[in-house]
Structure 1
Amino acid sequence: MSSLENQIESLMLNNRRMTDGFSYTVPSGSSYPYQWFWDSCFHAIILSHIDTKAAMAEIQSLISHQFDNGMMAHVIFWDQQKEIFNVDWGLKKTSNIIQPPIIAYATERVYEKCGDRPFLESVFPALVNYYNFLLEERDLRKVNLIGYVNPDESGEDNSPRFDNALLLPPQHEVEDNLNKRYALFETHKKCNLDTRCTSETFWIEDVPGNVFLIWNLESLSRIATELNDRQLAKKYLSKAKQVAASMRVNMFENGYFHPLSGLKAVKTTENTWSRFAPLLTKQYTPAEAKALVKDELLNRERFWLPYGVSTVAQNGPAFSPEEPIWGQAWQHPHWRGPIWMTVHWFLYQGLKNYGYYDIANEVREKSLALVKNEGFREYYHPITGIGMGANDFTWGAMVIDMN
């Protein structure tokens, strides 16, 4: 085992918790001491390389708090701490919103490593119920696109993609952004978690969110095939194709896919990493992908910065790569320019889909250098390479899956 693998194993072990008989991993012991949904999906993938039993446990702990309607919340508060993220969600032990739906892909990756069929059989019904919930409850316009009722559901809390919907200018105080998002928590609670009710205040059909849905419906279809359920395998593969077709019809314009804001589905134009997300599911033609990589990704005035790929175009009005001064790390996860390791991981896979192996390897090497030089930080400055945000943050360990 390499030195880096040893460091990753130590990080994951130090961040592992056991509560009520369930094992799970927190993103950062000091700043994020709970179980976050898509973080745990990343954790399962990381752990599949070093401890398959822990990887399976990560998935099992997530589904342990599934709602009756199939929803899985974005946070499970196994051990609530008054000082961190103490919000009245109107629920016990969980938040009242979702996060990007990547649990089917994570489960598939874990199964590939462990080959434990009873594990796959045990979690499959929960996966089916979860994706049925998304397809039925989060497709308000009935156009085969799911939406979010809060920016936090995207996992990119203060991304500029949500500025217009929050009525915020490109440059604003991080506290103002947080207050508006927290107000939406309260709105969703007052709406009794009714999506249509909350959508009157905030609704975004996001590009990465629907890309992740396609990606995971394909995984769910393959899992169903593995479990000899041909009917469900066919259903979810068909649904993935319907979502992809709808994205092309409703979101694509001038060479890119754009988020849709509100129930009137107005295209938003903020230039963030999200336009690269469809590389993951091969939704660009080869010619479109070539132009995207050349004009956007490798453009040193936009995304291709000294230490990696920024989350926001450098020449855009919202670019702000410095860590916010206000608040604690958990109050300002910053998606307005810094490098986030999972974005590098998504890019790495998407670029390989189109044969851009050399560029993918550059992304990998930049990722490894950041972890080597700055350690496991929440995010990194794209121009100086300085690590920022939470310490001992697990996402840096995703480099173990860039191979």
Structure 2
Amino acid sequence: MQAGMSMLSKQQETSTQEVLSDQEISTRAREVLYKNMVSGRKDGFSYHYTKPSPGTYPFQYFWDTCFHVFVLTALGDVRMAKKHMYSLFRMQRADGFVGHMSYWKRLWPARITDLLQLRPRDVLRLNRPHMSALVQPPIAAQAVLRIYRLSKDLTFVSEFLPKLKKYYRWLAENRDFEQEGLLSIISPYESGMDWKASFDPVLNYDKGEAGPALFWKVLQVDGHNFRKKYVLAEIYKSNRFIVKDTAFNTIYAQNLEALAHLCDLVEDEDGKQFRDQAEKTSKSILRYMYDEQDEAFYDLHGHHFEKLRIRTATVFFPVVLKSVPDKVCRNVLERHLLHQDGFHVPFPLPSLSTDEPAFKPDESLYIWRGPTWVVFNWFMQGYLLEKGYKQEAEALLRSVKRLIGQSGFREYYNPFTGEGYGAKDFTWSGLVVDMIDRQRRLRWNDL
């Protein structure tokens, strides 16, 4: 494996792009993050969040907010990280639900898709703060645990833990339809990767490259859910779009572990329950999502867990789970990350294998179908460092630095040229600061 990963390292060295210093990157990331911050008070609710970009994404988004916590804590601003999490859970429903979008300062949805992602009863509340009816990858427990690890603030953990427990219990009770430990999403937007190519077969879209027809098919899914008034039992029964996303469930398993750890910190007896849930989810990921012949983890569709055999970058995600055998992890990485089979590009990781029909590396309205996003490198770097692949983790970090040095903090990048696309001053790319901090801590530990 080391030899294969070295190929990745050498490939990165072919770029002549000057890399910014760590301090320069941190300074610029801080400027982008603070420039995009919004705060205020509306109808008795106080809010404080960071827009992912100045104009394209004006609302508070669930997993974006958690990413901002990782960036803020890497920058040393724990106080601001706490304010973001409080704001994210400010409108949590009594049953534990938290929507993937919180509408604060700007109340009217930006797109028709946003309007259809509200419960019909909430359409009448557009003049007041409200949430969407969808969820996003549940990375909140890890965000709170990160805040604790930097602050050692057990009071904060004790205050936030009841919110988290209610939230993760809502997910288990309402989205684990088959009681196998795997959560289902009911809209492509819930994955956080809106136009992910693995969803095409579920949408009956077979044209490869995305176009207006794909937009209407996704719109029809949200329209279907809206007509069902977001009654989940009815949505599941109709089986229009019931997908178990690999990344979503990997993050779910990780966060159940993080939640169990938070319980342990304050001697909450529910820690064992969440740890058992995490183990159940991890085992089901291996059992249902892993394809031994293809050596990849695939998204699943429908009531019978049909594999969606399209190689997006999330085929790697479950390797981070401790219950996945080392041999499986090595096979997945060696076959898909290290060899010339679709993910070996000058600026990894592409969001879709280059040999998939839907692959498009250029700018498009239909994102997540080829370009490189910093979040993939951030996610995989943590695993590589944990497993001792220091050189390979360094290669992923160096690639991100070159992307930012060349194109700035952009939403996504061309995996061949490094050209930046999509939203400008995009906060997710600030995750590079956390990558730098991880690498720095590793060096200190080696001394």
Question: TM-score band (shorter)?
Answer: over 0.9
State the alpha-carbon separation in 2 of the partners of residues 144 and 287 from structure 1.
23
Query: How far did 1:283 drift?
Result: 4.5
1:68 Cα deviation from its structure 2 partner = 2.4
Query: What percent identity do the matched residue pairs reach?
Result: 28
Aligned counterparts of 1:147 and 1:83: Cα–Cα separation in 2? 25
Bigger Rg over Cα: 2
User: What is the correspondence of 1:378-393 to structure 2 with a 5 Å cutoff?
Assistant: 378-393=411-426
Cα deviation, 1:351-388, whole Å, max 9, x if unaligned, reads 22333221111011101111111101000000111000
State TM-score, norm by structure 2: 0.85
- The number of aligned residues is 395
Quick check: 1:333–1:389 contact (8 Å CA) kept in 2? no
Alpha carbons of 1:335 and 1:289: their partners in 2 closer, same or farther (altered >3 Å)?
same
* Cα deviations by residue, 1:218-243 (Å, 9 ceiling, x for unpaired): 000000001111x2111101110011
RMSD over aligned Cα atoms: 1.6
1:10 aligned to 2:24? no
Matches within 5 A, 1:158-173: 158-173=195-210
Structure 1: stretches of 5+ with no match in the other structure:
325-331
1:156 pairs with 193, 199, 210, which one? 193
Matches within 5 A, 1:100-119: 100-119=137-156
Do the aligned partners of 1:37 and 1:74 also contact (CA within 8 Å) in 2? yes
| CA displacement, residues 156-182 of structure 1 (integer Å, 9 cap, x when unaligned) | 100111111111115243333232223
Selected match of 1:281 from 294, 315, 321: 321
Q: Distance in 2 between the 1:97 and 1:232 partners?
A: 26
Aligned residue in 2 for 1:194 = 231
The one-character-per-residue Cα deviations of 1:91-125 (angstroms, maximum 9, x if unpaired) are 24221100000000011001111222222222111
Distance 2:65 2:260 in 1: 21
Q: 1:177 aligns with which of 187, 190, 214?
A: 214
Alignment correspondent of 1:240 = 278
Matches within 5 A, 1:1-400: 2-20=23-41, 21-50=46-75, 51-80=77-106, 84-86=110-112, 87-88=114-115, 89=118, 90=120, 91=122, 92=125, 93-199=130-236, 200=238, 201-229=240-268, 231-254=269-292, 255-324=295-364, 332=365, 334-400=367-433
Q: Structure 2: how far apart are the matches of 1:65 and 1:371? A: 35
CA deviation after TM superposition for structure 1 residue 399, in Å: 0.6
Structure number with greater CO (CA < 8 Å, separation at least 6) is 2
Given that residues 286 and 324 in structure 2 are in contact (C-alpha distance below 8 angstroms), is that contact kept between their aligned partners in structure 1?
no
C-alpha distance 281-159 of structure 1, shift in aligned 2 (>3 A): same
| Aligned residue identity for 2:90 | S
Moved over 6 A (4+): none
Q: Does the 8 Å CA contact 1:140/1:146 hold for their aligned counterparts?
A: yes
Q: Deviations over 1:117-171 (max 9, x none)?
A: 2222221111000100111110111211111001110101001111111111152
- TM-score (ref. length: structure 1): 0.94
Aligned to 1:329: none
Distance 1:253 1:293 in 2: 14
Task: Decide whether the 8 Å contact of 2:135 with 2:190 is kept in 1.
Answer: yes
Moved more, 218-227 or 277-286: 277-286
